[in-house]
Amino acid sequence: MIGDNAFLAVVVVGIWRLWPFAFLMLMAGLQSIPNDVYEASAVDGAKPFRQWWHITLPMLRPVNMVLVLVMFLWTFNDFNTPFVLFGGSQPPAGDLISFHIYNASFLTWNFGSGAAMSVLLLLFLLVASGIYLLLMNRRKDNA
């Protein structure tokens, strides 16, 4: 059947498109970690894996929290990538809410339906972001 790999194609292109931003964010976070912490842990006898596990990852946690949230929001709202890949008619495996909003608003001229779907998408993303931030802050408070 045509379009069986449509979802995989969207995922691969999405990763290919967003990894430079993620790489730059993580590099900025790594550069903000002071070398003194690594030197002190080396004096205490910590090996590189233990330094990575107990120093690098915890100190990159705020960067990772923001990065995951921003990339989730960007990916969920992405319209350009699937539209360029599939054109106006997407296969069932590549059926996304952004296509439904586009079809309702600009192809059938039903702006009310498109606006309603957009508001529902906004509310879903607000709730998902709020839950994510609550879970991440609760985990931080317990640590």
Q: Give the span between the Cα atoms of 16 and 12, in whole angstroms.
A: 6
- The topology (CATH level 3) of 6-142 is MetI-like fold (1.10.3720)
Sign for the CA dihedral angle at 54, 63, 69, 18 comes to negative
Q: Would you state the structure tokens that stand for residue 29, as one six-digit string?
A: 């976070």
Q: Are 57 and 65 in contact (CB under 8 A)?
A: no
Q: How confident is the model at residue 98 (pLDDT cuts 50, 70, 90)?
A: confident
Q: Where are the domains of the chain?
A: 6-142
Q: Give the span between the Cα atoms of 15 and 22, in whole angstroms.
A: 10
pLDDT value at position 141? 63
- pLDDT per residue as tens digits for the range 71-97: 999 888 888 888 888 877 777 777 788
Q: Which helix H or strand E contains 39, and what residues bound it?
A: helix 35-43
- pLDDT per residue as tens digits for the range 30-71: 999 999 999 999 999 999 999 999 999 999 999 999 999 999
